[in-house]
Structure formats: C-alpha cells, structure tokens
Amino acid sequence: MTIEGVASDESETVAGDFDVIIIGGGPAGLSAGIYAKRAGLECIVLEKGVPGGQVLTSPNIENYPGFAEISGIKLMETMADHARRYVDIKEGEEVLRVRGGEKFEIMTTSAKYTSRAIVLTTGSTHRKLEVKGEEGMTGRGVSYCATCDGFFYKGRDVVVVGGGNTALTDALYLNSIGCKVALVHRRDAFRADRHLQDTITKHGIEVFWDTVIDEIVGEQEVTGVRLRNLKNGTTHVKKTNGVFVAVGELPSSQLAAELGLDMDAGGFVNVDKSFRTNVPMVYAAGDVTGGIRQIVAAVHGGAAAALSCFEDLMNPYYRR
C-alpha cells in the first residue's frame, strides 16, 4: 500500500531484487552501473531527478578527456545514453529510506527494492552566498569550481570568496593561470593551513578582510561585486569578471547516516582506497566522499566501487 505516492515500509511487495543498487545518477553512479552490469551483476540506478548531478549546471567543460569542449548537459546525456545500454536508470525515483539486514531494503517514492549491496553516489551541493545577483549567474561569471572554470578567466579580474584551504588553493590556482585575483573573507584571519597563507602573501594576492559580498552586479554577465566591510559598514563596488565561491560543500549523506557509515566532520563518507565503507557491502563514490570533486575522479570512484562490490560478492573480504 502506498500513501501519497510513497512506498510503505510494511509493504510485502518487492519491485525488484538485485545484487547491487546504485543510489544516485551522476558521473559516479552511471560509471558504477556500467561496470557492475558488465561484471555480471544484476543492478539498477535510482536517481531522484534526471541523470547528471551537478555537472548539468556546467555550461562548458574542457577538461574531460575525449571532449575538447562540451556542455555539462550534453556530456551527461552522452554518459547516460551509454549507461542505459547496460543498466536500467530509474529517473524521478528518490530513495527515502534504507534498512540493513540479511538484505538491504530500499524504499523509494514509488517502490520497494532489495539488494545484497549498495553503492552510494548521492553527491553534494555547493554552499551558496545567497546574495542578490547570484541566482541564475552560474556560467555567466559565478562559479563554484575554479579548476573547472578558471581557464575561461585567464587574464581577467576574479574574486574568490572564502578563507579555508579550498578558497586559498583556488586563489593560487587562478593566479597561476594568469587571473588577477582578490580574496574576500568575512573574518580577520584565514582558517587555511599556514603554508597556503604564506603562499598567498608571497604572491601578493589582494585580500579584503572582514568583508562580505552583498550583491553580485551584472545583467547578462558579472561586472562587479558590492563589498561591505563588517567592522565599519562601508560599501563599495569592485569591478570583476568572475566570482568563485569557495565556502564549502554540503554532502548528500542522509542515507549514509541511516546506514551507520563513518563520516568526517563535514559529513563526507569515509572510504578506503577501494571505495569500501566501514559497513560490509556498502560502497560510496563521487562527491559524497569529498576529495577531488572532478568528473574524472567521480567516474574512477564509481568504477572502482563497482569492481570492489563484484569482488566482495564473489569472495567477501570481511569473511576472509
């Protein structure tokens, strides 16, 4: 019985029983589906929206091998079409609850499934500034990934927002490829490692201390940012072509918590080099595990997780 389109936990009807169920249809999930199916495992991919994840928001990608230049939407359409040759992708089917036991029970918005193993590829979302002018400007001057989009701003003025390791690393990367970089940090000291702070000073990168962005200025593309000093309240508009937001990521790790997976302080799932978690027969890959959040890294992780899953189903490592 279902209530308001949600599969009942008590339902005896199981829509499908699988060797492994992959939760999340981004690059990691699609890669895991391809490798799991080619290894002979019965599997499905459950995706709450459409396949692609955060890559869908990238207007132009130039660092994925095999594609000199391609939009995020086109790349993920190509990847999803490839995956569908092997594995069924259930679009618009959000996983609501997962239960362990002799077999895993996965309850979605429309069905109940069981499986011997699970691969979590639920991804993460960027923390946003939530300021005027930010919404809808991704790819038109606002970016959340310096290594993805920095090349487009070579020789231009850019602002990096944040004070942690990611923000300072992004600033140094952008500086190294020829951008004129300024850092905006809401505090009077960085939280980043000392060697990164020293390198920022060494390269003479401008820093706006005790400062926040109140508004991203521009119509068709970013032309500036309105800065406000938190100590004296003064504001001014700084001209810039790009705003790189590096204030953190929010991993989609609710299901990981339900399964009792080990996570770091930021909520990212801890995995070993084979993408195994601390719970037998549960694997994780892609942005939900933190690390290098790049498409190539997600694809690698998904493939490795699927192969580890195959190995463990044949000869469980935790029983050796």
Active site (annotated) includes residue 193: no
Six-digit token pair at 73?
Answer: 């939407």
Would you give the end-to-end CA distance of the chain in angstroms? Answer: 41
- Tell me which of 43, 149, 179, 309 is the catalytic residue: 149
- Tell me which of 9, 19, 81, 145 is the catalytic residue: 145
Tell me, what DSSP letter sits at residue 189?
S
Active site (annotated) includes residue 145: yes
**What sign does the CA torsion over 283, 288, 290, 295 have?**
positive
Alpha-carbon span 279 to 41, nearest angstrom: 20
Q: Sort strands 211-218 and 104-108 into parallel, antiparallel or unpaired.
A: unpaired
- Tell me which of 9, 43, 81, 148 is the catalytic residue: 148
Q: For the chain, where are the E strands, in sequence order? A: 2-3, 6-7, 16-23, 43-47, 88-91, 95-99, 104-108, 112-120, 124-126, 142-143, 157-161, 180-184, 206-208, 211-218, 222-229, 235-239, 242-245, 249-251, 282-284
Q: Sort strands 180-184 and 206-208 into parallel, antiparallel or unpaired.
A: parallel
Q: Sort strands 211-218 and 222-229 into parallel, antiparallel or unpaired.
A: antiparallel
Active site (annotated) includes residue 309: no
**What sign does the CA torsion over 77, 79, 84, 88 have?**
negative
Q: Which residues are catalytic?
A: 145, 148-149
